[in-house]
Structure formats: C-alpha cells, structure tokens
Structure 1
C-alpha cells in the first residue's frame, strides 16, 4: 500500500526528496544541479506531471501514488529495489502502466528488482529468476517459471499462486 509509506502531512515532493537529502548520492542517470531539476527528471522518468508532486499523498490516485513511490525509490539511484505487490489494488490500465514503467527502469537505470507477488504474469514479465515459497520456505528457484517442482507447476498451470 504505497499511500501508507508517505507522511500524510508532507507534500509528495517533500517525501520524494527526503532520501535524496539524507543520502546525497552521486547521481549517474539524473545528474541534477538542484533539487528542482531532480524532481523534474523523476517526474519525467515515472511518467507523471511534476505538479502532482505538490499535492498531499491522499490527493493522488492509486497509480499516481505508486509512481510517486517509485520516484522516491529511484531518487538515490539504488542498485536494487524491493517491492511487495506493487500492482495490487490498481485498475487494469494503471497496472499495465506500472509494469511498463518497471521494465523501462530495469533497462534504463540498470536497477534490479526483487518483487514479491502472487501475480504469475507479472513475475514472468519482469523476473529472470523466481524463488517460490511454500509456508515461508523456499521450494523452487527457477528461471522464468519454465520449470519447477510439482507445487510450482500446479500454480503456474492455474495462473495464480
């Protein structure tokens, strides 16, 4: 739930800039000369109008707040981003847009994604390797869900975990 990760009293802009202000990374992909330049670059990277970042989190739609959360995550250009069910609760159009955004970020920023999801199609599209858990224990480590044990195959054939 991305809304829960934002301070409700801060504008989205303030929340996005907080990790950048704390860590002051040397940016490779967003060589901003100011915080405003960084915000402009991040808005463009995640596909939203920059003016949306001046709103409070509850004033954004589900897809917009998810994009803002992604902007905050990439603001320090991490090597890895961990995402738990990043498309849950989104409408079909927003879900597709977020998946396309994540694919694009993987390629343009070279960021690795660790995705936690029950959505097999989502995992297939974005992940090169999948660790399948059963009751909190690893049961399969597979490549693009092309193989795996009986437990994994049962869910792959059903199309859901």
Structure 2
C-alpha cells in the first residue's frame, strides 16, 4: 500500500463516525415523518410504532417486557415511556398484563394489531433499504447488510 492510499483510508476512517451520525439524524427524522403517515395515516402515531418496535425487540432478548424495558430500549425516562405505552395500549397495539415476576409491574405484549403495525413497519424499512441500495452491486448490498446486522448485534453488549 502506498502513502496516498494510507492517507485516503485514514481520512475515510476519520469521517466514518460523523457520517454515521449524519445518517442517523437524517433517517430518524424522515423515518418518523414517512412511516407514521404511511402506516397509520397520522404523524402523531409515530410513538405507537416506536413502542411496538421496542416491545418486539426487547421481547426477543428477555422473558418479559416492562415499561422500564421500553424506556431503556428507547432511551427515555420512565414517565415518557409510560405515556408512550399507555397511548399504544389505548390504540390497541399493546396489551398490559400483570408481571409473572413482580405483581407491581405490568408485562407488555403485542396485540394482533400491534403485530400488523410491526409487520408494516418492517416492510417499509426493507423497502427503504432496497431503494437506497438499488444501484449497488449485490456483493456491496450483502456486505453492507452484514455490517448493519453486526453493528446492531453489538448494541446490547
């Protein structure tokens, strides 16, 4: 490798972190605007999607999902997560049951409507990935997908 390649690779690595966060900022706003409107018909229902996603993801990693679990997963305080869960429950996407581990807590589960909303959200996310990488080679698409999954798997460590 020559010095020019070393400098180019160093510059790429130096910009990778800021690029990651530009992407997060860009997509977090657009995801909220597009997904909520397309899936629920109203922008204000984005919190339902976030709650359903949090319950599903956390449920894959633990035996029981609580409001505290949702708060941790979404980076919210307990009261914010509690309001989000309350609203998603009132909309019919979640159901609260008494915890099997602590009767003072509620255990959260998806309803059929919640599973349908989750499926629609995941379909939209897959479609968006396909659109963004449509001009990429199959090898690059697969490599990028693998890196995304690898990064996601490191989140809970």
Report if TM-score (shorter chain) is over 0.5.
no
TM score, norm. by length of structure 1 = 0.26
Q: Which protein has the bigger helix share?
A: 2
TM-score normalised by the chain length of structure 2: 0.26
Higher Cα Rg, which structure: 2
Structure having the larger proportion of residues in strand: 1
